[in-house]
C-alpha cells in the first residue's frame, strides 16, 4: 500500500497524531482529534473516505443529546460508512449485490442489516447501533489507519537510514582528507543519486530529518552541499521545502539560530543563486 497523499491537508506527524487521538480511550482526546478533522476538511476539498467515516463515527459515539438524537446520528454514520465503502469496492462492469461486496471487504451481514433498517425501515435500537459503530471503527483502523501508519513509519525509517548513511560516509571521507589520504567521490555520488531518487513522498520527509541532523555541530554546509546540489537539480521543490522548514525552526530554536541562518544563506548563495559558467 502506498503512503497516503497528505499534502496539502496535513503532514505525516499531524496525521499520526490525529490517528492516536481519534482512537484514544478518553473523550477529550477524541474531541481534539475531531477538531483536526474539521480543520482538514477546511483545507481540502475532499478528504479520504476512511477519514471522513472515522470522524463521523467518533462524533456519533460522543453525541450527548437525547436517545432519539443519538440513534439518528449513529444511523447516519453507519449508512455513510457502509454505502461509501460498498460503492468504492464495487468496481467492474457489472454491479454486484451489497451483501456480496460487503463479504468481500470484511463487513459482516449484521452491519448491512442495520444499514438496511436505517434506510428503509424503522431505526435500529441504540445498543445495536453502538455495537455497529464500534465494529466500523475497528474495520477502519484495520483497513486504513494501521496500514497507512505502517507505510509512514517505513518511509520515515528509509529516509532516516539514508541520511545516517550519508553522514557516516561524509565523516569517513573527512577523516581520510585530514589524514592526507586520497578519497574516491564515487561512493558519495552514488549515495546522493540514491537519496535524490526517493519517491516524492519520501523526499517530503527529508527536510524535517535534515534539520534534526543539523543539530550535530560536527557537520557544516559543505557536508550537505553535494546532496543539496543534486536535489536542486532534480527536485528543486525539496530544496525550497528545506529552506521553509529551516526558517520555521529559526523561530523556535534559539540555540541553533546562528547555524540555521548561515545554512539558509549558504543554500541561497551557493546553490539556488549559483550561475553556471
How confident is the model at residue 234, as a pLDDT? 84
Average pLDDT over every residue of 221-246: 86
pLDDT at 274: 52
Alpha carbon dihedral 226, 8, 211, 173, in 10-degree steps, equals: -20
* Unique residue bearing C-alpha cell 440513534: 71
Instruction: Specify the pLDDT at position 276.
Output: 44
Going by pLDDT thresholds of 50, 70 and 90, the confidence category of residue 18 is very high
CB 210 within 8 A of CB 242: yes
Domain boundaries, the chain: 12-152, 184-272
pLDDT band per the 50, 70, 90 thresholds, residue 277: very low
Do 162 and 194 form a contact (C-beta atoms < 8 A)? yes
So what's the pLDDT on residue 75?
92
Predicted local confidence at residue 69, as pLDDT: 87
- Percent of all residues in the chain with a pLDDT value above 70, rounded to a whole number: 90
Per-residue model confidence (pLDDT) at position 107: 92
pLDDT of 60 reads 94
Residue 275 has pLDDT above 60, yes or no: no
209, three cell numbers: 530529518
Per-residue pLDDT for 32 more than 90? yes
pLDDT digits over 136-162, tens only?
999 999 999 999 999 889 988 999 999
At residue 22, the pLDDT reads: 98
pLDDT at 128 over 70: yes
Confidence of residue 218 (pLDDT cuts 50, 70, 90): low
If phi > 0 it is left, if psi is from -120 to 50 it is alpha, else beta; for residue 106 that is left
Cα separation, 189 vs 235, whole angstroms: 16
Please report the pLDDT score of residue 65 as a whole number: 76
Q: pLDDT, tens digit, for every residue of 167-208? A: 899 888 888 888 888 888 888 899 999 898 888 788 888 888
CB 101 within 8 Å of CB 89: yes
Amino acid at each position: 500500500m502506498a503512503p497516503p497523499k497528505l499534502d496539502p491537508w496535513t503532514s505525516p506527524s499531524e496525521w499520526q497524531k490525529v490517528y492516536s487521538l481519534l482512537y484514544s480511550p478518553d473523550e477529550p482526546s477524541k474531541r481534539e482529534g475531531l477538531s483536526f478533522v474539521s480543520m482538514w476538511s477546511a483545507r481540502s476539498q475532499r478528504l479520504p473516505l476512511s477519514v471522513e467515516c472515522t470522524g463521523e463515527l467518533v462524533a456519533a459515539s460522543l453525541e450527548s443529546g437525547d436517545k432519539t438524537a443519538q440513534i439518528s446520528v449513529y444511523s447516519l454514520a453507519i449508512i455513510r460508512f457502509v454505502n461509501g465503502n460498498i460503492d468504492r469496492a464495487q468496481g467492474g462492469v457489472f454491479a454486484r449485490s451489497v451483501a456480496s461486496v460487503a463479504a468481500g471487504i470484511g463487513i459482516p451481514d449484521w452491519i448491512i442489516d442495520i444499514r438496511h433498517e436505517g434506510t428503509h425501515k424503522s431505526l435500529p435500537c441504540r445498543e445495536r447501533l453502538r455495537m455497529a459503530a464500534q465494529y466500523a471503527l475497528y474495520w477502519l483502523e484495520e483497513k486504513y489507519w494501521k496500514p497507512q501508519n505502517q507505510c509512514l513509519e517505513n518511509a520515515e525509517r528509509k529516509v532516516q537510514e539514508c541520511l545516517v548513511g550519508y553522514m557516516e560516509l561524509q565523516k569517513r571521507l573527512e577523516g581520510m582528507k585530514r589524514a592526507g589520504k586520497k578519497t574516491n567521490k564515487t561512493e558519495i555520488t552514488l549515495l546522493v543519486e540514491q537519496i535524490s531518487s526517493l519517491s516524492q513522498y519520501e523526499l517530503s520527509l527529508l527536510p524535517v530529518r535534515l534539520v534534526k541532523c543539523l543539530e550535530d555541530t560536527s557537520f557544516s554546509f559543505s557536508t550537505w552541499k553535494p546532496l543539496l546540489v543534486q536535489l536542486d537539480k532534480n527536485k528543486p521543490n525539496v530544496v525550497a521545502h528545506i529552506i521553509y522548514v529551516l526558517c520555521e525552526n529559526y523561530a523556535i530554536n534559539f540555540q541553533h539560530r546562528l547555524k540555521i541562518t548561515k545554512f539558509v544563506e549558504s543554500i541561497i548563495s551557493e546553490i539556488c543563486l549559483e550561475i553556471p559558467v
